[in-house]
Amino acid sequence: MDNHVTTWNKFFSQIQNEDFCDKLNEFLNREYNNHECYPPRELMFNAFRLTPLDKVKVVIIGQDPYHERGQAMGLSFSVPSGINVPPSLVNIYKEIAKEYECPMNYQSGDLTYLAEQGVLLINAILSVRAKQPLSHNIAEYKMFLARVLEVLNRQHRPIVFLLWGGFARKLKSYLHNPTHLVLESVHPSPLAANRGGWFGNDHFKKTNEYLKSHHLKEIKWSNM
């Protein structure tokens, strides 16, 4: 496991010798050696590098990385600059633009600007085989995510969890700290969003209202 990820160091050092981590490493070595997998292995823990544990204000949980070449960069919903913005992220941008009546750059899907403000953008599954969604949906990742959520749940300071879609909403059972805010909605994917429940959820404004009420700096959601 990567163990040089800012203030997540203690967390990673605590779990690195556990059985599930050994099995996960073996699985990843085998997969990356024998198949084309994403993101590049050095970017798997990108979210933890860019958003130190003591800086986390908001948590957004995706399911698994994009499975086309060049898309996955270790941040949920994010793609590198120069890559076409995926439909779910387009809908995220549209909701931000609606809530704040602000311009958005729909040509860039790089969400590093959010990660650097304290938005932890993690996927429940950190890797995937090329063109095979959910191909790395293994028990060891479930254990890893549970540990991540447990350590976040123990942080006694205001944190907002944005749970989008049925998969993410099931994770609410890990979150019971009264100092945290949990907001739920349908997934921003076109299939779910067009049925209703995504547009107009006001999650981005509600997040900032919560942060402001606790005297914390608000997130600048616009990428302009």
What pTM was computed for the model? 0.95
| Rounded distance between C-alpha atoms, residue 183 and residue 105, angstroms | 25
Among the listed residues 75, 61, 90, the one whose alpha carbon sits nearest the alpha carbon of residue 172: 61
Respond yes or no: is residue 54 known to be catalytic.
no
| Residue tagged active-site, from 22, 54, 64, 202 | 64
Average pLDDT of span 204-220: 99
Q: Is the pLDDT of residue 183 over 70?
A: yes
Average pLDDT of span 104-123: 98
Contact (CB, 8 A) for 210 and 181? yes
Q: Is the pLDDT of residue 4 over 80?
A: no
Q: Which residue has the tokens 């349908």?
A: 186
pLDDT reported for residue 2: 47
Average pLDDT of span 114-122: 99
Q: Is the pLDDT of residue 37 over 70?
A: yes
* Proportion of the chain above pLDDT 70, given as a percent: 97
pLDDT reported for residue 7: 84
pLDDT reported for residue 6: 64
Structural domains of the chain, ranges and CATH numbers in brackets: 6-213 (3.40.470.10)
The overall longest dimension of the chain from CA atoms, in Å, is 50
